[in-house]
Amino acid sequence: MQALTQKSKPVSREPMSLMEKIYLPAVLKGMSITFSHMFKKKPTVRYPEETRPFSPVFRGLHVLNRDEEGRENCTACGLCAVACPAEAITMEAAERKEGEEHLYREEKYAARYEINMLRCIFCGLCEEACPKDAIYLSETFAPASFARKELVYAKNDLLIPNPKTEPEAFAKAKGLKPIK
Partner 1 sequence: MNLLAFDWALLIEKLVLIAIIITISLVVAMYATYGERKVAAWMQDRVGPNRAGPFGILQPLADGMKLFFKEEIIPNSSNKFLFILGPCLAMLTAMMTSAIIPWGSELRIGDRVISLQIADINIGILYVFGVVSMGVYGIMIGGWASNNKFSLMAALRGASQVISYELAMGISLIALLMLTGSLSLKTITEQQMAPGHYWNVLYQPLGFLIFFVCALAECNRAPFDLSEAESELNMGYHQEYSSMKLGFFLFSEYINMFISSVIMATLFFGGYDIPFIDESKYNPNLMAWLGVGALMVKALIFIFVFMWIRWTLPRFRYDQLMNLGWKALIPLALINMVITAVVILKYFN
Q: 113, 158 in Cβ contact below 8 A?
A: yes
Q: 113, 91 in Cβ contact below 8 A?
A: yes
Residues 6+ apart with CB under 8 A from 59: 122, 123, 124, 127, 137
Site residues, partner 1 (CB under 8 A):
27, 30-31, 33-35, 37-38, 40-44, 46
Which is closer to partner 1, CB of 1 or CB of 45?
45
Instruction: Compute the C-alpha angle 18/19/21, nearest 5°.
Output: 60
Query: What letter would DSSP give residue 163?
Result: T
Of residues 155, 137, 159, 132, the one with CA closest to residue 75: 132
